[in-house]
Structure 1
């Protein structure tokens, strides 16, 4: 019986160790990503004349929003057709070189997570924005896995803390900020219902113009750790979910919405992104 008991105990300990290691590895990947190779070869791109070029970059080395990225591809192609844009979608970082970046009117980090660019490519993107380019970020583009101070400050002006976990997805009302640019709110209702994984940041975005917000008191902000229960870091009833910032001669736009494939069926969410791109091109 003692040997049997020891075997049971050993098995339980083994299961606990494996489970703990698996969970630890999962959270490490979400936060830091895994070592990754950086693509440096310039792609062969034929830029059509008379069309504004937009780069959609969806590379991930941390958590991957696979279904959202996949669903977005058709939507971006549809928007390009409607607006006579040229959309170049890629997950290879070789396009982040000065010569090709300057051909794009806007760069979208479409749920791109983790360390996705090497230092030279990061420098090319920061220079592109500061000299008049535009960077847009969707959902995961604003999490804490990028570990690039310029990027976090320029795109967000705040710092990601966590997202709710129980329940992870919550439906609430998105409100347009009355003082937001008409170019960004055109053809949008003043409020609409939207279900998403709502990001919680450590404070209001600084030096930013809010475009849309939710009432953070109407969602359950609890994260997946005991010490982030009921924490919304003062965001409260004015919890921004879309905003833009001036960066040098350029600008950035970020929306925390966009976790799942279903969001791409929300006409108001898609319209917000279309407005943002039109705003970028003017």
Structure 2
């Protein structure tokens, strides 16, 4: 019998070192991607076609950075034609000069009121297979305040702590969502300032499900 072809993932990591991209890449390789055929890259030069068309999903662990016009066109075009895209945390601050990337991702980081180590609950909205059965968690980390596309399907949310911006206290903020970009499936989770938050079992499960869901030609319903 011919060998079963594994789903191909491009793990792209780098950018701002303050978000420890290598450490998160190691987490992804050992906890999320063991069942996939993974190619690792530390260069945005990987964002080119037809190279991207050989993968089923892109996992970018990249904060800040700048895309060339050709890289932007290749990335958005590949996703629109079916390449899956799964990002977390600092990905909402990736490629700040690239408005189309924000449009594709469905959100943009604007701050984390309360600082780096606040305690807050995360509620999974059990109306979707990606979060079905997951128990709500409480984390101690940054709480991202995001500008979010109203077209996304929110999978998890949290009441905003607010910090010094007391007028924000209690606002409901999306924490994870999914959306489409053409034929491509896009997922984002705001958690992930530190690896231990992603190692929380319900969060790890969510990321695993998101990868399986987002991959090109996934049999899972949107």
Is the pair's TM-score, using the shorter chain for normalization, greater than 0.5? yes
Task: Give the paired residue count.
Answer: 213
Task: Give the SS at the match of 1:220.
Answer: coil
Residues 39-118 of structure 1 mapped to structure 2, 5 A cutoff: 50-60=5-15, 62=16, 64-66=18-20, 69-78=21-30, 79-81=32-34, 84-110=35-61, 112-118=62-68
Aligned to 2:155, which of 211, 225, 235?
Answer: 211
Q: Measure the CA separation in 2 of the matches of 1:115 and 1:74.
A: 21
Whether 2:216 is the aligned partner of 1:272: answer: no
| Distance of 1:192 and 1:265 partners within structure 2 | 12
Of residues 114, 120, 143, the one that matches 2:93 is: 143
Q: Which has the larger radius of gyration?
A: 1
Q: By percentage of residues, which structure has more strand?
A: 2
Gaps of 5+ in 2: none
What's the RMSD between the two structures over aligned residues?
2.2
Taking a change above 3 Å as real, the CA distance of residues 49 and 231 of structure 1, as seen in their structure-2 partners, is farther
Aligned partners of 2:144 and 2:125: how far apart in 1?
18
Moved more, 99-108 or 135-144: 135-144
Structure richer in helix, relative to its length: 1
Q: Structure 1 residues 99, 195: CA separation in 2 closer, same or farther (over 3 Å shift)? A: same
Q: Which residue of 2 aligns with 1:243?
A: 177
* Counterpart contact for 1:106–1:134, Cα < 8 Å: yes
Deviations 1:72-98 (A, max 9, x none): 2333222322xx211222211222121
Counterpart Cα distance in 2 of 1:138 and 1:266:
14
Corresponding residue for residue 160 of structure 1? 109
What is aligned with 1:220?
162
**1:230 maps to what in 2?**
166
Per-residue deviation, 1:265: 2.8
Equivalents in 2 of 1:147, 1:251: separation in Å? Answer: 23
TM-score by length of 2: 0.86
CA distance in structure 1 between the aligned counterparts of 2:65 and 2:26, rounded to whole angstroms: 26
In 2: Cα distance, 1:144 partner to 1:51 partner: 29
Q: CA deviation at 1:138?
A: 1.1
C-alpha deviation, 1:198, in angstroms? 0.9
| Contact 1:134–1:250, Cα closer than 8 Å, also in 2 | yes
Give the structure-1-normalised TM-score.
Answer: 0.69
CA distance in 1, matches of 2:163, 2:104: 25
| Counterpart-to-counterpart distance in 2, 1:231 and 1:102 | 46
Question: Displacement, 1:168?
Answer: 1.9
Rounded to whole Å, the distance in 2 between the matches of 1:108 and 1:73 is: 9
For 1:117 and 1:108, locate their aligned partners in 2 and report how far apart those are by CA, in whole Å.
16
Q: Distance in 1 between matches of 2:33 and 2:67?
A: 26
